[in-house]
Amino acid sequence: MKLDYEAFGRQVLGVCVGLKPGEKVWINTWEHDIEIGSLLSLQCLKRGCPTLTTVQFDKPWLYTIQEAPAEFAERPSASQAALLKKTDVYIFTLGPRIIPWATILPERRKLVTTWFLEKNKFVQKWKTIAKARRVRMLGIEATMATPERTKNLGLDYEEWKRVMFDGCMADPKAVGKRAKTVEKLIQGDEEVRLKTSHGTNFTFKLDNRPADSFDGIIREDWVSQGRPGFLPAGGIEVSVNEQSGQGRIVFDKPIRSLLKEGIINRLTLTVSEGRIVNSSAGNQQQAFERWLKEGKGDADRLAFFGFGLNPNLRHGFTQDDKVLGGVTIGFGDNSDKKGKNKADRGFWGSITGATVTIGNKRVMKNGKLLV
């Protein structure tokens, strides 16, 4: 697959992070993403920006997580901290090629930092510096498409990679315009009715919660929180009244990266007063029920819903929550969305072809947004 890295660089630097001449840029890649790091570094220099590119290697990283003293992974090194304190823009690719969770002791899994959203000591210390310096941070999520992950997820590598990078090129202005329109509809307290031709018939209540979205352009409020944005962008979600869910949900698209046993197809849930009371699936049903039973707290409780807004993405890969025309329903912990659920886990799935009514207004018909 031949990627237009020049156009990609213009999108990342010129549009998403709004790079200005003279700003100091730190680009951090993994060993399989060196070409992207090189391209971005070159374009930064052409824009008159001092740039440092660092590369992480899979084997030393895994050793740090598996065997090294925990403090190695619990705080930025002195060099990292010093560099971050002089950085205006931090761009990072997501890696490594694959995380072998089965080989990492459960008590050490919290040491893994991939998204800079994890609730661990490293991220806390990193965010303290990033907020003080007001670093604009952008993660290139598209680099998660690797041959190693492809095998586990049952995807075609070249197609997955193309879809991911196409998604990165979506017009943030168009995505943002959709987000603002939808945001006005999902921040109230009205009832939401969700139906599909493949069996979903579900209702729940909104609860005046703040919506969360990202159109691809780094926002000032996120900078002040030390929060990164990610490409591809294009989803909007809101936590809901956790006790209000009633009815049947059929996730017609596969749910990936939830079970170590593999993909779940056609997961169907019966929900009463916000809790899952019954489930079935085309496969992995027992594994899903075991995963749910082992969860602590509100792992089985309704958490959030949202819409995909990115016209360049396609269902069936790993970004289903961002695909224009899709609806996302999530369960479990939603504390990151100002929700009330507390749990040690959560999951979400995507629904296509939905008709959605909020209050008295139909906002989607057969998978097409009407607003």
* Residue 345 domain-assigned (yes or no): yes
What residues contact 243, with CB distance under 8 A and at least 6 apart?
A: 273, 274, 301, 302
What are the pLDDT digits (tens) for 165-183? Answer: 999 999 999 999 999 999 9
Name the E strands within the chain: 25-30, 51-56, 89-93, 136-140, 191-195, 201-205, 212-214, 229-231, 235-239, 246-251, 255-259, 262-264, 267-272, 275-280, 302-308, 327-332, 346-351, 355-358, 361-365, 368-369
Band of the pLDDT at 153, cuts 50, 70, 90?
confident
Query: In terms of domains, do 89 and 176 share one?
Result: no
Residue 259 has pLDDT above 80, yes or no: no
Nearest partner of 328 among 311, 314, 348, judged by Cα: 348
Query: In terms of domains, do 139 and 72 share one?
Result: yes
Structural domain total, the chain: 2
* Residue 222 domain-assigned (yes or no): no
Instruction: Find the mean pLDDT for residues 315-343.
Output: 95
Instruction: Find the mean pLDDT for residues 204-233.
Output: 96
Instruction: Find the mean pLDDT for residues 21-40.
Output: 96
Query: In terms of domains, do 50 and 105 share one?
Result: yes
* Residue 218 domain-assigned (yes or no): no
Instruction: Find the mean pLDDT for residues 189-212.
Output: 97
pLDDT attached to residue 2: 66
- CATH number of the domain that 70 lies in? 3.40.1830.10
Query: In terms of domains, do 157 and 190 share one?
Result: no
Query: In terms of domains, do 271 and 139 share one?
Result: no
Is pTM, for the whole model, over 0.85?
yes
Query: In terms of domains, do 163 and 180 share one?
Result: no
Instruction: Find the mean pLDDT for residues 290-304.
Output: 95
Instruction: Find the mean pLDDT for residues 37-43.
Output: 95
